[in-house]
Amino acid sequence: MDFKQLSYFLTVVDEGTISAAAKKLHMTQPPLSTQMKALEDETGCLLFERGPRSIRLTDAGRIMYERASALLHMSSRLMEELADCRRGSHGTLRLGVVSSVGSTVFCRCFLDFHRAYPDIRFEVSEANTYQLLESLRDGLIELAVVRTPFPVGDFHCVPLKKEALTAAGHKSFFESSDLERSILPLSSLAGKPLIIYRRWEEILTDAFHAQDLEMSVLCKNDDARTTAFWADAGLGIGILPQAAVPLLSHPDSIWKPLDQSLPPSTIAVIHSKHSSLSTVAKTFADYLQDVFCKKSEPPSACDL
């Protein structure tokens, strides 16, 4: 079994028939059929059943497809990382970013980094923090820019910036006295329909209970964009990190920083403790630290 055989197998599955796969691979059908038969003989498993119109994967075939895909992806990444080592400032940065910073805080960072390193290309995955942690564990990305809280565990964490949480929504949800405040007390949110991040629920619940306040949750979700869009539509008051405020666009939408009864949200760049960074990823991580250290003194540790 070799990578070429595995690549042939994936192509057969993706194309649906051996004849279609042979056409895509620019080879005749008999040699490809021979390769598939050899793969089945070596594994001792029937990998797919030939139908009149398309193949159908067996249970063994599904396992083979999943593992072969991962192996070929890792092989391709290995070759690219080795090339990165040779080139230094060339290559591809595989980065994950939470939505609350990807389209706001980091726009300028990406622009300035690209100007400094024009030969570096980007593969950016936008997801919530826990999805990005899984992508790091699976080796699909090298770095992730996430928000606390999250379990540090297997990750090296470099905090970049602390941000106050804000309350955002249409003016009609706020008392007239609150509209005059520069900072909003948690009591102003008591009994109001709240739109919150699911993973912040425990923190918010504890803060409300500590002040004997009623917390009324209209919607729990996993993405800053959902919170911002629901608040912007007039459904309730969204609890957002300050960097996500630019996602609001409705003329009736306002936002107010919340007082210190709620802990701030920390933006951090993380990577797995169990794998070394490519030259490109290390260059970007160092760049982020330099940028945020110049703007302000970053927090000394991730607040979890």
What's 88-161+265-295's CATH class?
alpha beta
* Rg value, the chain, Cα: 25
List phi, psi (to 5°) of 117.
-130, 75
Q: Is residue 234 classed as helix, strand or coil in its secondary structure?
A: coil
Q: What percent of the chain is predicted at pLDDT more than 70?
A: 93
Predicted structure pTM score: 0.63
Q: Which fold has domain 165-257?
A: D-Maltodextrin-Binding Protein; domain 2 (3.40.190)
pLDDT in tens, 251-279: 999 999 999 888 888 899 999 998 888 88
pLDDT in tens, 78-121: 887 777 666 656 788 999 998 877 666 677 788 889 998 888 88
Architecture of domain 3-79: Orthogonal Bundle (1.10)
Pairing type for strands 55-57 and 120-126 reads unpaired
Joined together, the tokens standing for residue 288 give: 């982020």
Distance of alpha carbon 135 from alpha carbon 275, whole angstroms: 13
Give the domain ranges of the chain. Answer: 3-79, 88-161+265-295, 165-257
CB-based contact 239:204 (threshold 8 Å): yes
Largest CA distance in the chain: 80
- Averaged confidence pLDDT in the chain: 88
CB-based contact 256:164 (threshold 8 Å): no
**Fold match, 88-161+265-295 / 165-257:** yes
At residue 85, the pLDDT reads 63
Torsion of CA 119, 123, 127, 129, to 10 degrees: -60
pLDDT in tens, 149-207: 887 788 999 999 888 899 999 999 999 999 999 999 999 999 999 999 888 899 999 99
